[in-house]
Structure formats: structure tokens, C-alpha cells
Amino acid sequence: MGIFKIGIDRIYGRASAAEVSALKGEIEAANRMLHDGSGAGNDFLGWVGLPQEVTPECLKTIGDCARSLASLADVIVVIGIGGSYLGTKAVLEAMSDSFAPLHGKQDKPVLLFAGQNLSEDYMAELLAAVKPYRLATIVISKSGTTTEPAVAFRIIKKEIEERYGKAEAAKRIVAVTDAKRGALRTLAEREGYATFVIPDNVGGRYSVLTPVGLLPLAAAGVDVAELVRGAQDMAAATGVDVPFEENPAALYAAARTALYRKGCKIEILGSYDPKLLYVAEWWKQLYGESEGKDGKGIFPASVTLTADLHSMGQYIQQGERTLMETIVSIDRPKHEVRIESDPDNLDGLNYLSGKRIGEVNRMAEMGTMLAHVDGGVPNIRIELPELNEYYLGALLYFFEKACGMSGYALGVNPFDQPGVEAYKKNMFALLGKPGFEEQGEELRRRL
Ligand code: PA5
């Protein structure tokens, strides 16, 4: 058995086993292209071998910096957007106690996020919330020029400098950015901040296993060595030497590609544990930015279950039959809570007496899977034995690898995102950024 189970046999009502197997050559070729760099976007393939490159020395350097920040701060504001934000948020949420804020003072700093939106109220409330706490920041931007994190950093930097003075502030600010280029690199060097490099050949949405994710996660007390170990094992399990039938990422890529070709244009990633909500957000960015181009691509959507069975469940069961569903299932909950017998049984729940909530959740999951399959929604199942750093690291790399293969099978460059520029040009023009004057006038006329 592999690191975790992947089940694709419940897609066969829509795409047959033979149709999935017929993709073997195409998917294996795509995997080879990821390894030999012969495909589109081959200057962004650094993530393929990344897990193996995270040495104990790298982890030590990251750990030292994380410990130093943690010793200075109760709150670390992690500034970044897109790939410079979602991986950290995904792992943090998955690994955190859902009610940590109510457990009083923690021995690790709390991570708060900024620069992932332009909400004035969010920023005002964040500034107010951090006032009583010792503060530090990790600012993450590969390009070093993205507007949202740059705006947030200007504000947080001022807050830290006003509190501690410039010299002390420099110890509380760490920048993760390009080795040479970008405004953040220039600023960091001038101000003397500690810096970490995002390798040139690793794009934002594939960067969670670089200091982009590892530094803030280490500061928050996440076992990043285990995260990397999971990714390393998954890298080995999805290598070019692994037969198609045993390569989980190849099977997933083939299943979703076969379904897409059979008219399933939307993939819903679902989970029965709300801790995985941001894993789904990370996954949506990974697949959305990698595949959605040239008028093609599966639209990635997500649901958290059972909550969304009481909202999106209706559509999934009976709406347009353009959906496929991928469920990330967790076999063993961390904790045990049983439903006790009640002598009055007014709620009629005594038939559940003695059962764990996890068992009820599991039956909801099984029942829903069968209902959705019966309703014409093909189902892919990814089963993690438990939710810990190791399996999470394996899951993240699994999705990255499958995304690269799927993108090549789709015939797109999975490593660029030219469409992201359109909104930026309009925003700059409307805000009067020098150089955008003409477009600004034109856009204002249209508004
Ligand atoms: O995946 C990507 O490349 C993007 O989502 C980027 O991560 C995002 O736009 C942020 O870019 P940067 O890190 O340059 O600020």
C-alpha cells in the first residue's frame, strides 16, 4: 500500500476504467516532462525535486530564525497573497486546535495574516487587535512588487518601527523574496532584515515547501520536518520510475482528465473536517491558476461537509451534470467524543448511543458518496490515515504533482498565470499609478 489510498473506481459510470487506462501514455509522458524539463514552463520546475533538497541544514536555518522571532513576539503578522499565503494558511489551519484562541496564552506565537486582501476594516481591526501584543512580521513576496502585501507591509512596518525603533524593528522583520530582484529585496537589504530566498524556478503556488511556508509554520510550532518528510515520500511515490497503476498522482490526474473529456468541467474538493477548509483554498489556487487558461481547464470549487450538504448539497445532487467530486477523507480523528444514551430519548437519537461522532461523520460521508454517485457525480476518494504534518506534506506534493501532469495533459503551461495581470493593470490605472494615465482616463469613462 502507498502512503495513502486513492480510489477512482466510483467514476466509472461517467468515464470507464478503459478510458482512464488509455491515458496512461499521456500521463506518463507528462510526468517525464516534469522531470526532464521538456514541457512548457520548464523554468518553473524547481518544485519537482524540492522536497529532497530541503536538507537538515536548511531546516536548521529556518528553525533558528523561527525561534528568534518566536522569542520576540506573541503575534507574527504573515504578509503575502496567493501562493505566498495559502500554503501556510492551509497547513496552519489543518494543524491547529480549532479553538486555540480560547485556550489562553500559548507558548508559540499566533500567526495573523495580512496582505491577502485590501480591506480597510480588516487592516484597522488587525492593527487594533495586535496593540497589546509583542509584534513581529514575516513579509513574503516573490516578485517583491505585489500591491496587496506591499500596502500591508508599509503599514505593519510603520507600526513595528514606531513601537520599537528602527534598529530593534529590523530584528522583528523577516523578508522572504527573490534572491536579487524586486522592491522588497532592495528594502530588506537597505534596512538590514534577515531574508530567505524563494528560488527563481519555484512559482508562488508551488512554494509551500520553501521558506514561504516553512518559516512561518515553524514559528507557529508546526513540525515542518515531518511536513517535508511526507512530501519527500510522496515525491518518491510519484517519480517517473513508478508504474502508472501505483502512482497516486498519475491515477488522480488520469481520472480527472478522463472526466473532463467526458464533460465534467467542475471539480469540487470536499472534506468532512473543517480543518481542511484552507487546504481546499490552496488547492483551488493551485489548480485554478495552473489549468484555467487558453479557454480550457476544470473549474476548481470546494465544499466543507456536512455543513455544505445543507446548501450546495442540493445542487451537487440534482443540478447540471458537469460536476466531479474529490473527497479528502481522514480515517482517524485525533480525539474521541461519544454520543451518550439519554433516558428520555426525546430527540430520538438513542440509536446512536455509544457511537463516536467520527462514526456518524463516516456514515454521512459514505451515504453522501453513494447518493452523489447515484445522482451522476463521479467520485474520487483520497484517504489519509490521519491528519498530521506527514500526511499533509504528502498530500500537498501529491496535488502539485498531479496538477503538473493534468496541466500538460490539458495542453496548457501549468506554471504561468498571464490572466492575473488584467485586474492589476486596471487597478493601477484607476489609482493613478505613474505610467497608467491614459488607461485610467479610458477606464473612468467606462465606470
Ligand atoms: O502562484 C502564484 O504565482 C501567485 O499566486 C503569487 O503567489 C501571488 O500573485 C503573489 O505573488 P508574489 O509572491 O510575487 O507577491
Residue whose CA lies nearest to ligand 1 atom number 9: 82
Start-end of H helices in 262-416: 277-291, 313-318, 357-374, 389-410
| pLDDT band with cut points at 50, 70 and 90 for residue 2 | confident
Domain locations along the chain? 5-41+228-412, 50-224
Predicted pLDDT of residue 104: 82
Predicted pLDDT of residue 1: 62
Predicted pLDDT of residue 11: 98
Which of 79, 81, 88 for a ligand 1 pocket mutation test, highest count of atoms within 8 Å of Cβ?
Answer: 81
Distance from the alpha carbon of residue 312 to the mean position of ligand 1, in angstroms:
30
**Model-wide pTM > 0.85:** yes
Q: What is the mean pLDDT of residues 307-333?
A: 97
Predicted pLDDT of residue 421: 86
Task: Work out the angle at residue 249's Cα, subtended by the Cα atoms of residues 248 and 251, and round it to the nearest 5 degrees.
Answer: 65
Q: Are 325 and 305 in contact (CB under 8 A)?
A: no
Name which of 325, 326, 324 is nearest 263 in CA terms: 324
Distance from the alpha carbon of residue 2 to the mean position of ligand 1, in angstroms:
32
Predicted pLDDT of residue 89: 98
Which residues form ligand 1's pocket by a CB distance below 6 Å? Answer: 81-84, 141-143, 146, 149, 203-205, 289, 417
| Residue 76, Ramachandran bin (φ over 0: left; ψ between -120 and 50: alpha; else beta) | beta
Residue whose CA lies nearest to ligand 1 atom number 15: 141
- Whether residue 5 is predicted with pLDDT greater than 80 in this model: the reply is yes
Question: Which CATH code for domain 50-224?
Answer: 3.40.50.10490
Centre a 10 Å sphere on the Cβ of residue 35 and count the other Cβ atoms it contains. 15
5-41+228-412 and 50-224: identical CATH topology: yes
Could you name the CATH architecture of 5-41+228-412? 3-Layer(aba) Sandwich (3.40)
| pLDDT band with cut points at 50, 70 and 90 for residue 107 | confident
Q: What is the mean pLDDT of residues 72-93?
A: 98
pLDDT per residue as tens digits for the range 132-149: 999 999 999 999 889 999
Active site positions, annotated: 289, 310, 424
Q: Are 269 and 395 in contact (CB under 8 A)?
A: no
Q: What is the mean pLDDT of residues 408-416?
A: 98
- Closest atom of ligand 1 to 146 CA is 15
**Mean pLDDT (the chain, rounded):** 97
